Amino acid sequence: MYILLGGNLGNRFLNIEKACGLIGERIGKIQTMSSIYETEPWGFDNTENFLNRVVVVETGLDYTNLLFTLQRIEKDLGRIKKTSIDYSSREIDLDILFYNLEIVEDKDIGLIIPHPRLHMRKFVLVPLAELAPHLLHPVFKVTMQELLDRCSDHKWVKKFLPVQ
């Protein structure tokens, strides 16, 4: 399963690191992770850039319990549940991108897998293509690298190197 981690408030790097630790403790073994990327905000104007990373996790959780566990991790790391549907700044955001390449639309919990906008966002596709360029999207039937090559998102995405 593939999870996107991101955030643009507080100590962005530490928030990503803490989220990885909690995913490992509560969800399952992180098999691999992408580089961390610094990215422009997508969907809203803000001066605070995001850090993003994709992790591949092995879990025994079904997608419902996975979603609820990710939401609990977000809350534990200081995320305040938004009251509007608009995009906004946040300490941490954890999104399920793929769950065993299943196609899920669960209206009861508000979950769509694969993530319905991943193909439109370079901040998702760049780390995904780093980890799994040949992974086939189960709906579009094209690889992550092909989706990245076709993506019309013009926001910049660059590798992040933390200050030592």
Q: How many helices (H) and strands (E) does the chain have?
A: 4, 8
pLDDT for residue 48: 86
Buried (b) or exposed (e) across 101-117, using 16+ Cβ within 10 A?
A: eeebeeeeeebebbbee
Q: Give me the residues paired with residue 112 across strands.
A: 105
From first to last of its 164 residues, the chain has per-residue pLDDT tens of 999 999 999 999 999 999 999 999 999 999 999 999 999 887 656 678 999 999 999 999 999 999 999 999 999 998 776 654 556 678 999 999 999 999 999 999 999 999 999 999 999 999 999 999 999 999 999 999 999 999 999 999 999 987 65
Give the C-alpha separation, 152 to 164, whole Å: 34
Give the C-alpha separation, 94 to 73, whole Å: 8
Assess if residue 68 is contained within a domain.
yes
pLDDT for residue 4: 98
Assess if residue 45 is contained within a domain.
yes
- Domain of 28, CATH number, reads 3.30.70.560
Assess if residue 164 is contained within a domain.
no
Assess if residue 59 is contained within a domain.
yes
Assess if residue 108 is contained within a domain.
yes
Assess if residue 18 is contained within a domain.
yes
Nearest CA to 24 out of 128, 94, 101, 86 is that of 94
Contact 50, 4 (CB under 8 A): no
Contact 49, 159 (CB under 8 A): no
Domain hosting 90: range is: 2-159
Assess if residue 100 is contained within a domain.
yes
pLDDT for residue 161: 85
Give the C-alpha separation, 2 to 131, whole Å: 10
Instruction: Count the domains in the chain.
Output: 1
Coil, strand or helix: which one is 97?
Answer: strand
pLDDT for residue 162: 75
How far, rounded to the nearest angstrom, does the alpha carbon of residue 40 sit from its chain's CA centroid? Answer: 15
pLDDT for residue 88: 63
pLDDT for residue 89: 77
pLDDT for residue 164: 57
Give the C-alpha separation, 63 to 104, whole Å: 9
Assess if residue 49 is contained within a domain.
yes
